[in-house]
Structure 1
């Protein structure tokens, strides 16, 4: 009898110590670095080729604007031509046309006098293109951040699941040793011990599966962030907060504004194509047939060109009609997207509200489960409670803690979605 009491007391102390370990949550990860969400977000930004591509395209657009400005200046070119057309035995090109031989070296200057508005329109087009690239780059960054955050939360949930399963296995492993001793003392039946052993093995298998899932989720996180280091680390708890609701004003609608501005710029370009064009040109140099006083054939010339569109088969109106169709398409997409975004945000806010309402009930369940463990531990000291009942109380507490973690993970993912659409 004394031996049985000693075994029960040892079992109580070990089980109670396990409960304290679970409650405190101080599982130590030996020799593992702790990395947070900001680390993976920054690494993803640095390694993303898409973001670098957009940045390079913007730099290229800046060079295009310099090229356009350069075309607005006088264009100077140097040309040189030479010709010799021999006549052999009366056969050859007509000298009236070819003069037999010719030599020309010219310096030409051309300048469009009425090109200022056209140049400004082209520069405006480049600025619109640059703004579109900036928008596309920012949107790509938002998409990348959303993917990284989602995967980080998933990997963190896997890490917590591993910790939870380890706690359960540790608890059951200690209990198994005690039950084995009590079974040998004929206090418990062999069938009860075998049933418990099957439960332990199931939990050990669940732990292995959880560890494998976490490794896969962690590898996917590194893959998305462009990290090649496969060293196992500990993930810090993500800290996400819902941003202030932006209302109807949205980053996503800016792309429709850019499309509208682009159509306006194109319309101005069409109008400018029908404006009169006036250019001047000048040249100076040497041009001679080398027949008569070639040393006197140095000279210069000055001229102008003028053109205006009179009739082109109403092409201007046709181009206006195309732009009108494009504007209607943009308006349709904008209206559809605005409705979708509003529905999406309302749905997420509703889910967040329902999720937040669960925390009170879950915390109450945790409080009751913990209270039951405290009561059962006192009964165990007096020998008035079966060990299996105490295990059930512990499992109920662990299940409630696991439900709390899963609900919190769901909440973090909803916050990530809300912040994305709330741009």
Structure 2
């Protein structure tokens, strides 16, 4: 009993529907960009980076607010009893102290210092912008790679279904000649087995395709189990950019500016600080005519750094070490980038050569199969030779499909490193 005959009616129906689905193009068709757009919209990481930028904007406003006039209400009240000469020194405590004041203070800061602090926030947001672009590029690359993988399986299914259709037509012809005694029963059975093997391959590919689509949906944050058809991915090599213009190099540039900003801020932190204040209210010890102790005062405070144990020098040393680390990472990235691009271009060239050779071979195998088909129709073909020709055609076609997919994956990687 043949494999196809022992399958349940339900399984047969699923297989027939899957053939109808793929062969006739029914089902929702989706583009690569559709998945990328949804994936970017759903990414919690990109949303987090966007929210961090909003938080930094609030921090920038807080800097401005910190240099505005600060007004506070202060209430300080104390009673210091004494008896027989025991108790706090009256000259210090006045026995009783009652303070109700409104105090206004303001830090005086130079425009340059304030601008440098705002520049630090701007550079932090710029760093988040670069991180966001890199994260988006990482996600786009992963989605594209998974899309290409699923698309490759889809292409194999389409080809294998057309091949299976050919085999079944040949089985019908071979059956007639076998019944007439032109071919042996073993020849007919060998051809049947080849056909059934192709059916099994199609089952496996259909299951694999659904798994790859599920993985693609998972990457994009899509909750959907419906079957879809994937459109041809339009992927071309973008013009190679200078390394300094890529988004990956931009992070090193931003980090350099951030370190320079840190140096400037250390310098500002060690400049003299001037504060002004004013207060008004009631301040009394009630020792004499307390009801007249309403008043006001104003003043200026100046802080001049003199010595802090060389902490300023230590901060500069830390920044210098950070700059050296930045340069080391930058130099390594530049070497890695050049090597990666060279290697990918070499792989692309080699893959193209394989595709060209396989396409030449496929012409020969198609010619051989056509010849065997004609010989089968007149009962003169050797079935073993025909099966070998079919297997050769299948292997060559799979080679073309696999290398075409590899080519798309390589281009995807080149475009990843080449992002501006």
Residue 14 of structure 1: aligned partner: none
Shift of 1:185: 2.6
Superposed, 1:96-135 pairs within 5 Å as: 96-135=91-130
Shift of 1:78: 1.9
Shift of 1:201: 2.5
Note the alpha carbon deviations across 1:281-300, whole angstroms, 9 max, x for none: 11111112234222211111
Question: Secondary structure of 2:248's match?
Answer: coil
Superposed, 1:258-277 pairs within 5 Å as: 258-277=254-273
Residue 140 of structure 2: aligned partner: 145
Shift of 1:339: 0.2
1:62 to 21, 45, 57: 57
Superposed, 1:207-218 pairs within 5 Å as: 207-218=202-213
Greater shift, 173-182 or 101-110, is seen at 173-182
Note the alpha carbon deviations across 1:153-201, whole angstroms, 9 max, x for none: 0011111122222223332233333333332332221222222232222
1:341 to 2:337 alignment:
yes
1:304 to 2:300 alignment:
yes
Superposed, 1:230-379 pairs within 5 Å as: 230-249=225-244, 250-376=246-372
Question: Secondary structure of 1:303's match?
Answer: strand
Question: Secondary structure of 1:253's match?
Answer: helix
Contact 1:164/1:402 (<8 A) preserved: no
Rounded to whole Å, the distance in 2 between the matches of 1:226 and 1:359 is: 35
Question: Secondary structure of 2:207's match?
Answer: helix
Residue 159 of structure 1: aligned partner: 154
Greater shift, 402-411 or 112-121, is seen at 112-121
Change (3 A) 1:315 1:84: closer
Contact 1:72/1:119 (<8 A) preserved: no
Count of residue pairs brought into register by the alignment: 398
Contact 1:106/1:283 (<8 A) preserved: yes
Change (3 A) 1:376 1:188: closer
Residue 73 of structure 2: aligned partner: 78
Rounded to whole Å, the distance in 1 between the matches of 2:211 and 2:377 is: 44
Question: Secondary structure of 1:241's match?
Answer: coil
Residue 173 of structure 2: aligned partner: 178
Rounded to whole Å, the distance in 1 between the matches of 2:309 and 2:91 is: 42
Shift of 1:215: 1.4
Question: Secondary structure of 1:200's match?
Answer: helix
Rounded to whole Å, the distance in 2 between the matches of 1:203 and 1:284 is: 95
Shift of 1:385: 4.2
Residue 23 of structure 1: aligned partner: none
Contact 1:278/1:305 (<8 A) preserved: yes
Shift of 1:396: 4.1
Note the alpha carbon deviations across 1:240-261, whole angstroms, 9 max, x for none: 0000011332221111112211
Greater shift, 127-136 or 378-387, is seen at 378-387
Question: Secondary structure of 1:246's match?
Answer: coil
Gaps of 5+ in 1: 1-25
Shift of 1:404: 2.2
Contact 1:72/1:116 (<8 A) preserved: no
Residue 18 of structure 2: aligned partner: none
1:206 to 2:201 alignment:
yes
Contact 2:30/2:231 (<8 A) preserved: yes
Residue 217 of structure 2: aligned partner: 222
Greater shift, 287-296 or 404-413, is seen at 287-296
What is the TM-score with the length of structure 2 in the denominator?
Answer: 0.87
Rounded to whole Å, the distance in 1 between the matches of 2:385 and 2:99 is: 110
What is the TM-score with the length of structure 1 in the denominator?
Answer: 0.86
